[in-house]
Structure formats: C-alpha cells, structure tokens
Amino acid sequence: MVQLTTLPASASLDDILAIIHRDGALILKDMLTPAEVDQALAELMPYVDATVTGHDGFSGTKTTRTGALVARSAASRDMIMNQGILDATRSFLGPYCTRIQLHLGQVIRLMPGQEQQQIHRDRWAWGKFLRSVEPQLNTIWALTDFTEENGATHVVPGSIEWPDDRVPTDDETTQAVMSKGSVLVYTGSVFHGGGANVSDGDRIGVNITYTLGWLRQEENQYLACPPDIAKDLDPDLQDLIGYTLGSYALGYYTPPLPPGEGTSLVGPEYALGRDKGGEGLGSAELYEATVKATEI
C-alpha cells in the first residue's frame, strides 16, 4: 500500500516542495506544541459545540464545520500566518498569481458514526473549468490524533495529474495518520476525502486553505471577518484574507459617499483605514507584474 511522507516541522522549503510536486501531499509532524493545541481547542470548542451537523453525505451528517476562524480565534490566526506554510504556498502557487489569499478557515469535527466521505478534489469548488493551473494549497491541522479508526483523511498520493473521472483503488489510497499538532499539507488536485469514524471519540482538525488571489474564496472572508473586526488585525493577515488588490485592476472599489466626498478607485485597504492615497487600479508594482504576466 502507498504511504504519505512525513517530515519534521523543521523540514526545508525545498524538501517540502519536492514531495508536494511529486505526491501532492505530505505530513509535517509536531507543527504545534501541546500547549498550542490546548489553546486552539479552548478558543474554538465553544463554537464547535454550537455548530449543527451537515445535511448531506458530502458535508457529513455527523460532521460539524465551524468557520469565521480569523474573527474568532488568535490561535487560528497564528496557524493561518505560519511562515513555513506561507512560504511553501507562495512558492507553489507563485507561477499562477501575483498574490495568494486565504480560501477557507474551518474546524472540521468528525463524530462517531460518520461515514467515509466521497473521494474528491478540492479544486472542484470552481467546477472543472480550470485546466492548466493549480488553484490552491491546503492544510489540515490535527487538534486530536488522526487515526484509522477515527477517520484520518484518505489521500491518493501521486494523483495530481489524474483525469477527473479516474476512481482510485484501495491499494492506491492511504490515510493521513498523524499525532495531534501535526499538519497534512495537500494540493487542490490530489484526490482525498474524510475517513469513517468508527471510534468512540471525535476527530478534530482545522482546515486552512489558500488559493490564487484572482479566484473567488470558498469562505467569504469579507463577511466572515468584516471591516469592523478586520481593522484591528495585523496588516499582513488583512491582506491575506482579501483586504488588498488581488492583482492590478482586481478588487478596487469606490466608497459610496455623497458627491464630492471621499475618493474614487481605492483598494480594499481603504475600508480598514489603511489609506493608500488613492491607489486606483493598482500600484506600479502590480501593473508591471501584470504586464509581464500577459506579455505575448
């Protein structure tokens, strides 16, 4: 049976990218300390316990999915902004975009009795229209041990180039068994799906995913973390959740003020009080990047 490669949290960027490009997934061990896991659970479980289960087989009738993590949890913000993960994401997605953005932040809890999820690709969130680019890089941070019994994620290593209609066999599939504090990193193109929880305890993981800055996010971060909350965040996190231009001429707006008041054609930073002086369609840097990317 195939296996996922496990690397230490200190693994080099080159080693991480080499395995991602080859297999589409890997495990980084002990990315969180026990104290950091406890902090995340303390902050998140009140919201998780108040979340209703899914209503269909894919979302999971014995699974809860809790979002708005940026607005709710400092520990989640630290996970989202993990420098090693961001470096890998920017390197991996860099050939296809000027900027990356947060696509989704969600606590996924598989409760006892949850059946195995359908094997799928996360990139199907945009249908099957994207053919020549990799749109995302994803993580699942284990807040409990992930075991075969409690539903560790099924992954098909090496499936990144498969046609969409190929169905993996059992011997092509493995499970992301990992200790709490470890992280599964996987691409939008690798086939995977949640496991069946046949244990007597919950499997809890934080699904944090990143995508190209020019695509629509799965979780609408502007509503999950509106300006009145986002204005107090670190500027780098503000940018990551979408409060900046995705590229030149992508994401600007005009504040809807009375005639003669305010300004026109500003970036989303303006809504947070980060006045960039009427950046308009985009900075010179973004313009040059767009020209270079679209040269024939």
In order of 23, 46, 203, the CA distances from 26 in angstroms are: 8, 30, 19
Q: Where are the beta strands (DSSP E) in 3-77?
A: 6-8, 25-29, 63-66
Task: Look over the chain and give the mean of its residue pLDDT values, rounded to a whole number.
Answer: 94
The predicted pLDDT at position 296 comes to 57
pTM: 0.94
pLDDT digits (tens, 9 = 90+) for 194-244: 999 999 999 999 999 999 999 999 999 999 999 999 999 999 999 999 999
pLDDT digits (tens, 9 = 90+) for 78-97: 999 999 999 999 999 999 99
Strand partners, 100: 212
Residue among 131, 176, 135 at smallest CA distance from 152? 176
Q: Which position has the token pair 């809790």?
A: 66
Identify the band that residue 126 occupies on the pLDDT scale cut at 50, 70 and 90.
Answer: very high
pLDDT digits (tens, 9 = 90+) for 13-23: 999 999 999 99
Structure tokens at 259: 């005639």
Domains of the chain (ranges, CATH numbers): 6-212 (2.60.120.620), 244-294 (no CATH)
The more confidently predicted of residues 247 and 285 is 247
Region 57-61: mean pLDDT is 95
Cβ density class 70-106: b for 16+ within 10 Å, e for less:
bbbbebbbebbbbebbbebbeebbeebbbbbbbbbbb
